[in-house]
């Protein structure tokens, strides 16, 4: 079986001009993922569960694991030398690497080191999300926030790690999506899900329906559509909501389905962060043949203005997202102007 490292190296050979820097960057990310995986696997035993005692930029309480994972990813990228700056969910400001070596790095990274971290203590899958951009400022100078404020379409690579019943790393460099399962007995990721494709349609919808009364009418009507009886389209669909974006999207990727995290009138952009949650997942899903939008505009076409900005997310099987967009357009067209 092919290992992740072999797979990444083979890909590099396909690009004659490749210098190996991107390959090293990806390898650094996977090493940090392995370390985080080790801590997650012993979370109940080691003193890693629970609150760290501080809040992050979003005003959310940081879990110990959030802080641990964040530090590991930052250190791996810093010492690797290929990454000039990181935007992380856990850090208010952009992390700019000051040393001369890292300033030469031609890439910048946006990441959510542990997504769904409130699920840690109850043994529910959590994830890591990352995306890589080529920096805009010249190598050898200090990176700036503009290097991160790039449209998703310009992403060079994106991936997620799901720490579930097994640990799987899924990534794309814009040429299809591949998944690798971690074998802890040898400490390696092996190619287990080559060329992943999300079914064009499915029968799962994932949404936190407890917020129903706040949803835009388009979303309310779409939910009712999902619940109607119609044999031809396999409705009523099933509801599946884990509350970990990576786990919900990963399941829908394999089975077919839609995940929605909408906004509401008071908070039109919803909860999820564009740069390090929505955009990387959108790139992966599009590369797998699916679709991702804010209800109107493809996520990858949104021009970011802040590293922590939020966006509504409609993501999953192509036909299902297109249908939800139809409902948004018909019943909640005014939301477009609020975004």
**In the complex, which residues of this chain contact Mg ion (CB under 5 A)?**
112, 115
Question: Which of 82, 244, 287, 317 forms a contact with ligand AHM (CB under 6 A)?
Answer: 244
Whole-angstrom distance, CA of residue 298 vs CA of residue 304:
13
Tell me the closest approach of the beta carbon of residue 175 to Mg ion, in angstroms: 27
Phi, psi of 192 (to 5 degrees): -120, -25
Number of chain residues interacting with ligand AHM (CB under 6 A): 12
**CA gap 38, 16 in Å, rounded:** 36
* Shortest Cβ 29–ligand AHM spacing (Å): 18
- d(Cα 76, Cα 97) in Å, to the nearest integer? 12
115 binds ligand AHM (CB under 6 A): yes
* 92 scored as a contact of ligand AHM (CB under 6 A): no
Residue with tokens 């990274």: 109
- Tell me whether residue 90 or residue 147 sits nearer to ligand AHM (CB atom): 90
Please, what is the minimum distance in Å from the beta carbon of residue 19 to ligand AHM? 34
Query: Should residue 70 be labelled a site residue for ligand AHM when binding is judged by CB under 6 A?
Result: no
Map tokens 């990352």 to a residue.
130
- Could you tell me which residues come within 8 angstroms of residue 303 by beta carbon, excluding any fewer than 6 positions away? 149, 151
CB of 261 to Mg ion, least distance (A): 11
Nearer to ligand AHM, 22 or 163 (CB): 163
Nearer to Mg ion, 114 or 328 (CB): 114
Instruction: Say if residue 337 is exposed, middle or buried (CB neighbours under 10 Å; 0-12, 13-18, 19+).
Output: exposed
Length of the chain: 339
DSSP for 79-90 reads HHS-EEEEEETT
Rounded Cα distance between 225 and 80, Å, is: 49
Nearest-Å Rg of the Cα atoms of the chain is: 19
Residue nearest to Mg ion (CB): 115
Among 9, 54, 99, 208, binds ligand AHM (CB under 6 A): 208
Angstrom distance (rounded) from CA 142 to CA 136: 11
Token digits for 8?
């990444």
Output the smallest distance, CB 325 to Mg ion, in A: 24
Contact stretch for ligand AHM (CB under 6 A) within 108-116, 169-177, 289-297, 329-337? 108-116
Candidates 60, 92, 93, 330: give the one binding ligand AHM (CB under 6 A): 60
**Neighbouring C-beta atoms of residue 123, cutoff 10 Å:** 9
Closer of 66 and 325 to Mg ion (Cβ): 66
Q: Does 243 bind ligand AHM (CB under 6 A)?
A: yes
Kindly indicate which of the ranges 139-147, 243-251, 320-328, 331-339 contains the residues binding ligand AHM, using the contact rule CB under 6 A.
243-251
Compute the least distance from the CB of residue 101 to ligand AHM, in Å.
31
- Per the CB < 8 A criterion, the answer to whether 173 and 14 are in contact is no
- Decide which of ligand AHM, Mg ion, none touches 66; Cβ closer than 5 to 8 Å per partner kind: none
The item of ligand AHM, Mg ion, none sharing an interface with residue 325, based on CB under 5 to 8 Å by kind, is none
Does 271 interact with ligand AHM (rule: CB under 6 A)?
A: yes
Decide: 143 and 93 in contact? Cβ < 8 Å.
no
Instruction: Give yes or no for residue 117 binding ligand AHM (CB under 6 A).
Output: yes
Quote the least distance from Cβ 160 to ligand AHM, whole Å.
Answer: 11
Residue 200 CA to residue 316 CA, distance in Å, equals 9
CB 249, min distance to ligand AHM, A: 9
Nearest to 324 by CA among 239, 245, 218: 218
**Residues at the site binding ligand AHM, with contacts judged by CB under 6 A:** 60, 89, 112, 115-117, 208, 243-245, 261, 271
């Amino acid at each position: 079986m092919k290992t992740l490292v072999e797979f990444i190296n083979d890909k590099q050979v396909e690009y004659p001009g490749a210098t190996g820097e991107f390959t090293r960057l990806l390898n650094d990310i996977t090493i940090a993922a392995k370390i985080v995986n080790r801590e997650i696997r012993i979370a109940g035993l080691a003193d890693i569960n629970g609150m760290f005692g501080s809040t992050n930029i979003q005003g959310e309480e940081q879990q110990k694991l959030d802080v641990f994972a964040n530090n590991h990813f930052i250190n791996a990228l810093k010492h690797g030398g290929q990454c000039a700056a990181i935007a992380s969910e856990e850090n208010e400001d952009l992390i700019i690497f000051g040393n001369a070596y890292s300033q030469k790095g031609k890439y910048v990274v946006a990441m959510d080191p542990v997504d769904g971290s409130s699920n840690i203590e109850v043994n529910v899958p959590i994830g890591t999300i990352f995306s890589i951009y080529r920096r805009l400022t010249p190598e050898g100078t200090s990176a700036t926030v503009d290097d991160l404020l790039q449209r998703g379409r310009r992403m060079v690579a994106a991936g997620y790690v799901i720490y579930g019943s097994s640990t799987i790393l899924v990534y794309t460099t814009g040429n299809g999506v591949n998944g690798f399962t971690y074998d802890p007995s040898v400490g390696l990721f092996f190619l287990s899900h080559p060329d992943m494709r999300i079914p064009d349609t499915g029968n799962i919808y994932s949404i936190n329906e407890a917020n129903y009364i706040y949803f835009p009418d388009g979303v309310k009507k779409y939910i009712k559509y999902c619940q109607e009886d119609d044999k031809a389209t396999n409705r009523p669909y099933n509801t599946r909501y884990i509350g970990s974006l990576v786990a919900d999207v990963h399941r829908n990727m394999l089975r077919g389905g839609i995940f929605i995290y909408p906004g509401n009138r008071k908070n039109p952009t919803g909860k999820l962060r564009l740069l390090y949650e929505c955009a990387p997942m959108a790139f992966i899903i599009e590369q797998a043949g699916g679709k991702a939008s804010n209800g109107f505009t493809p996520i990858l076409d949104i021009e970011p203005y802040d590293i922590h900005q939020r966006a509504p997310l409609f993501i999953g099987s192509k036909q299902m997202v297109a249908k939800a967009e139809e409902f948004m357009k018909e019943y909640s067209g005014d939301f477009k102007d609020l975004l």
